[in-house]
Amino acid sequence: MTAPIKDYLKRSTGFHAARWAEPVVCEMTGTGRRGIVFDDAPAPTLPGTAMRKVAPALPEITEHDALRHYLHLSQMTMGMMGVSLFGTCTMKYNPRIGERAALEHLRNLHPLQDASTLQGVLELYDNFSDFLCEVSGMDQFVFQAGGGADAAYTHACVTRAYHASRGELQQRDQIITTIQTHPCSPATANTAGFEVITLTLEENGYPSLEQLKSVVGPRTAALMVNNPDDMGIYNPDIKEWVRIVHEAGGLCFYDHANFNGVMSRLRARELGFDACMYMLHKTFGAPKGGGGPAVGAYGCAEHLVPFLPSPLVVKDGDSYRLDDDRPDSIGRVREFWGNAPQVLKAYAWARAMGAEGLREAADISVLSNNYMDKRLGEVRGVTRSNPDITVPRMEMTRHSVEKVTQDTGITIFEISIRMTDFGIDALWLSHEPWLVAEPFTPEAGELWSKEDIDYWIDVFEHVVTEAYENPEIVRTAPHNAPIHQLTTALDEPDQWATTWRAYQRKHVS
Amino acid sequence: MTRLGLIVNPVAGLGGAMARKGSDEPDMVQRAALAGRDLVSPVRAARALRAFQALSDAPVLCGVVRPDGSPDMPLLSGAYGTAQDTRDVVRDMQGQVDLILFAGGDGTARDICAANAGGIPVLGIPSGVKMHSGVFARSPERAGQMAARFLSDTAQRTEAVEILDIDEEARRAGRLSARLYTVARTPLDSSGARQNPKAGGTDPVGEMDATLASYARRMRDDTLYILGPGMTMAALKQRLGGGTLLGVDLAQCGQIIARDVDEDALLSAIAGRNVRIGLTVVGGQGFVLGRGNQQISARVLRNAGLPPIDVICGADKLAALHPQELTIDTGDPALDAEMAGYWPVMTGPARHQVMKVVP
Ligand SMILES: Cc1ncc(COP(=O)(O)O)c(C=O)c1O
């Protein structure tokens, strides 16, 4: 939580992000500049063919300059610095103690060590699996998948292996999902060779049972859904959905990326699901962002355990071992056992929270969202999806500024960019397709204080007022960010360069 | 030197204010005058022109009426704003301008495209009551900016968009239905300046292309295909040797074998045949049968034994439907009721979306 600051919006008008006028590091080179030089640095012991003939063209720079340069760059990143209410993503504080624990306990380990020397980390994996089994009702968790989409892919592969083992794979070639399920479910189903059947939302904000029944049948391999969905609407018929799909012989997968509002309030297995996925880098307090390491914790019931990726951590009496001899396993979805440091950090977070902590966090996140929902509803031109339904929203709500765009021409993109001028991170809009025009979907979670949430809404309201009164300032934003609007350079492959070599080729020569 | 053609339809946009659905009726100008209304489109055109001139000094040739505040602008015709006036101006602009920027709605877009023999790219300043067509910018300012960007390099790509209009006859009879009139070229927009009510960031064109390729590959030689109108179907017909945009065509063994067929031709073609029907969704009302493809009548459907219907439509177009439903109107209520239900729509290769179909 941030400290309460009175009249934050008024007081923060002087905000400006750091903006360092600095070339890229390759242009900062000065011949002979060095960091630490070791007189006795050993010569590399590489076979002759692998040795460089010419020294690499690396910049020569002092240690201090290098550190300062990267610090400056980090200050100019445009995210994760201000108030960040990024929906379907649950932004959480990542306790420093997790970093410390990962450093101290994993730094000197290597996954190829003999298992007898890895007992601590294996025990941690086993304990965390038990913890998540308790939370979900499943029988086994694995942490190999390198993110939520990777866990969805794990499920698509498990589905394939499961039906193949029963001789039904030829027949079961369809996976059913919904239009507001995260796109990684249909995408990974396609990747694993299945045809995708997507259900459309109906009056209540979710597809009807009749619609589901119209497509379930002998070709059904699985159902893959998230709930609440991308609009924040919880499908109360979900248990019946699972029953119908099971009756037809399909598996059911619960993408639990939006778990935050229902933590400890429901168990995927008790709803009948065969498998589920949690995002350790979102819900369980491990870091994310910048494409950083992620973990999709994939859990399943007994009947799917044989198909899980290998190796599996198993307890033998008092010790742990890695079981790689599992003939029905789908194999590996990731190297070794996934991002172990993230698993450790998430485990530390989960243990610190405990059962009561999870429940309190879930309740706070629902409360925060409903508070936001109410206040945003009072902002000029803001509406929300399915305005007529009465079911309470969970941890996020899909809103829209369609009216603002109609009145002023200002879009949600421009509002989002303008908000960065006040130290707000660019917001979450919507996964595709956009069923609601000019959408945004903030998720407060349990982290942000009431002051943070109020500040976020104050800024939002301020920018909407600007859209009506001075649209040019919104259209030309950002004004206080490290950079201004990009020109069309990103449309020009001849112009952009993501490496120093490409830059030299395209711009210098 | 590039030149901008600016068409301001003076009566566009009045229908809304006068609680009507459009401004197509001939006495609208007089009525507007009687009601003492200010004209909408010259003001919006002036906003677009200001944005245009901030970025470009290309000369502007304008027609029907001038935008507000530009008394000296060269004018092609000063008239009353009937459909004929618009068409005359467009005819005069052929060969004279590189882009037609117009202030109006769907009706104006239709009139412009009808007379735009040279296929000059067209861009709309949103000023009408109905704006279902794909040519409109989000705001007058963006229209002006987009026009300036386009004229700075006319080698920039354009894309095809549908020109739709609400069928006024049907509306007066109490039914709302959008009709596809033609396809126009408009500057390709990567900046989100064009109005695309429920846009996503995906590549609908590439996605559709792959879908149609897989559909064409799976067409069976022993089956006669009845292919309906629309841009998506025209792209499929293109793969089969080329067919019509607005008509119903027949295909067999990977080839179009008859173009623009009527109900009688369909009835005789289907006799004793294995039939499949390929359709797409036209316009914002979600019609798959009964608008623009009435040839595929209740009789045709029944005589063919209610053949399987493949609906092919981009997910982006389905997302833009409100409500999220498709509609059929074969003229035979019993048949409509029988066919209603949940239909799978092909939205991509190995992708279907289920849509509720209501009479
Ligand atoms: C509901 C849902 N499922 C899956 C994912 C994919 O997760 P990841 O980005 O870790 O692959 C996300 C990410 O936003 C999500 O919101």
DSSP B62-78: EEESPPTT-TTS-EEEE
Residues with CB under 6 A from ligand 1: A 88-89, 147-149, 182, 184, 226, 255, 257-258, 279, 294, 296
**Helix A148-165, helix A184-191: angle, nearest 10:** 40
Residue nearest to ligand 1 atom 4, measured at CA: A148
Confidence of residue A37 (pLDDT cuts 50, 70, 90): confident
Tokens 């290998």 found at: A310
Does B344 contact A197 at a Cβ distance shorter than 8 Å? Answer: yes
Q: Looking at residue B200, what is its pLDDT?
A: 38
Give the mutation target among A84, A88, A154 for probing the ligand 1 site: most ligand atoms within 8 A of CB: A88
Q: What is the CATH T-level fold of the domain B4-187, as seen in this structure?
A: Rossmann fold (3.40.50)
Q: Looking at residue B140, what is its pLDDT?
A: 86
Q: Looking at ligand 1, which atom is closest to the CA of residue A281? A: 10
Give dist(CA B190, CA B159) in Å, integer.
Answer: 11
Out of B139, B191, B354, closest to residue A211 by CB: B354
Nearest CA-CA partner of A440 in A422, A421, A456, A462: A456
Confidence of residue B319 (pLDDT cuts 50, 70, 90): confident
Q: Confirm whether pTM is higher than 0.95.
A: no
Q: Looking at residue A147, what is its pLDDT?
A: 93
Does A437 contact B202 at a Cβ distance shorter than 8 Å? Answer: no
Residues 99-128 (B) with a CB less than 8 A from some CB of A: none
Q: Looking at residue A270, what is its pLDDT?
A: 98
Say which CATH number the domain at A288 has. Answer: 3.40.640.10
As given in the structure block, the two tokens for residue A445 are 């979670």
As given in the structure block, the two tokens for residue A304 are 């799917």
Contacts of B142 in chain A (CB under 8 A): 409
Out of A210, A434, A475, closest to residue B319 by CB: A434
Bridge-based pairing of strands B224-227 and B275-279 is parallel
Give dist(CA B239, CA B313) in Å, integer.
Answer: 16
Q: Looking at residue B19, what is its pLDDT?
A: 36
Does B344 contact A200 at a Cβ distance shorter than 8 Å? Answer: no
How many angstroms is it from A74 CA to the middle of ligand 1?
25
Mean pLDDT, chain B, integer: 83
Q: Looking at ligand 1, which atom is closest to the CA of residue A149? A: 11
Does A411 contact B192 at a Cβ distance shorter than 8 Å? Answer: yes
Contacts of A405 in chain B (CB under 8 A): 138
Confidence of residue B18 (pLDDT cuts 50, 70, 90): very low
Contacts of B356 in chain A (CB under 8 A): 200, 202, 211
Mean pLDDT, chain A, integer: 91
Nearest CA-CA partner of B326 in B309, B343, B310, B314: B343
Higher pLDDT, B181 or A336: A336
Bridge-based pairing of strands A275-279 and A296-300 is antiparallel
Does A198 contact B354 at a Cβ distance shorter than 8 Å? Answer: yes
Contacts of A409 in chain B (CB under 8 A): 138-142
As given in the structure block, the two tokens for residue A50 are 């692998």
B312 has a chain A CB within 8 A of its CB: no
Q: pLDDT tens for residues B88-102?
A: 889 999 999 999 999
Q: Which of A195, A412, A435 to mutate to test the interface with B (most CBs of B within 10 A)?
A: A435
State how far the alpha carbon of B139 is from the alpha carbons of A371, A441, B192, in Å.
Answer: 33, 24, 11
Q: Pick the residue from chain A with its C-alpha nearest to B142.
A: A409
Q: Looking at residue B245, what is its pLDDT?
A: 84
- Residue A307 Cα, gap to closest chain B Cα (Å): 25
Q: Which of A185, A191, A198 to mutate to test the interface with B (most CBs of B within 10 A)?
A: A198
- Residue B340 Cα, gap to closest chain A Cα (Å): 12
Q: Which of B138, B139, B141, B145 to mutate to test the interface with A (most CBs of A within 10 A)?
A: B139
Out of B139, B202, B324, closest to residue A200 by CB: B324
Secondary structure (3-state) at B358: strand
Give dist(CA A485, CA A478) in Å, integer.
Answer: 7
Q: Looking at residue A291, what is its pLDDT?
A: 45
- Lowest pLDDT segment from A111-115, B230-234, B333-337: B230-234
Does B324 contact A202 at a Cβ distance shorter than 8 Å? Answer: yes
Given a cut of 80, whether residue A493 has pLDDT beyond it is no
Q: Looking at ligand 1, which atom is closest to the CA of residue A294? A: 10
Does B200 contact A202 at a Cβ distance shorter than 8 Å? Answer: no
Give dist(CA A403, CA A384) in Å, integer.
Answer: 11
Q: What residue ranges do the domains of chain B occupy?
A: 4-187, 205-358
| A395 touches A228 (CB < 8 A) | yes
Q: pLDDT tens for residues B186-221?
A: 988 766 555 554 333 445 566 788 899 999 999 999
How big is chain A, counted in residues? 509
How many angstroms is it from A182 CA to the middle of ligand 1?
7
Rg (CA), chain A: 25
Q: Total domain count for chain A?
A: 1
Residues of A with CB under 8 A from a CB of B: 179, 186, 190, 194-202, 207, 210-211, 214-215, 405, 408-409, 411, 413, 432-437, 475, 488, 491
Q: Looking at ligand 1, which atom is closest to the CA of residue A181? A: 1
Contacts of B354 in chain A (CB under 8 A): 197-200, 207, 211, 214-215
Contacts of A194 in chain B (CB under 8 A): 350
Torsion of CA A224, A227, A230, A236, to 10 degrees: 120
In whole angstroms, what separates CA B318 from the centre of its chain?
Answer: 15
Residue nearest to ligand 1 atom 8, measured at CA: A148
- Residue B89 Cα, gap to closest chain A Cα (Å): 29
- Lowest pLDDT segment from A362-371, B4-13, B22-31, B159-168: B22-31
Confidence of residue A136 (pLDDT cuts 50, 70, 90): very high
Domain extent at residue A323? 96-352
Taking residues B57-73, report their average pLDDT.
Answer: 84
Does A200 contact B318 at a Cβ distance shorter than 8 Å? Answer: yes
Q: What is the ipTM of this complex?
A: 0.89
Highest mean pLDDT among A359-363, A489-493, B37-41, B90-94: A359-363
Q: Looking at ligand 1, which atom is closest to the CA of residue A88? A: 16
Given a cut of 50, whether residue A352 has pLDDT beyond it is yes
How many angstroms is it from A384 CA to the middle of ligand 1?
22
| A417 touches A480 (CB < 8 A) | no
Q: Which of B146, B208, B354 to mutate to test the interface with A (most CBs of A within 10 A)?
A: B354
Residues 168-197 (B) with a CB less than 8 A from some CB of A: 190-192, 197
Give dist(CA B43, CA A355) in Å, integer.
Answer: 63
Confidence of residue A374 (pLDDT cuts 50, 70, 90): very high
Q: Pick the residue from chain B with its C-alpha nearest to A214.
A: B342
Does B198 contact A491 at a Cβ distance shorter than 8 Å? Answer: no
Q: pLDDT tens for residues A434-486?
A: 888 899 999 999 999 998 999 999 999 999 999 999 999 999 999 998 888 87
Q: Looking at residue A273, what is its pLDDT?
A: 98
Does B354 contact A186 at a Cβ distance shorter than 8 Å? Answer: no
Nearest CA-CA partner of A425 in A447, A410, A407, A403: A447
Given a cut of 50, whether residue B232 has pLDDT beyond it is yes
Taking residues A244-273, report their average pLDDT.
Answer: 97
Q: What residues contact residue B347 under an 8 Å CB cut-off, 6+ apart?
A: A198, B207, B211, B313, B314, B315, B318, B353
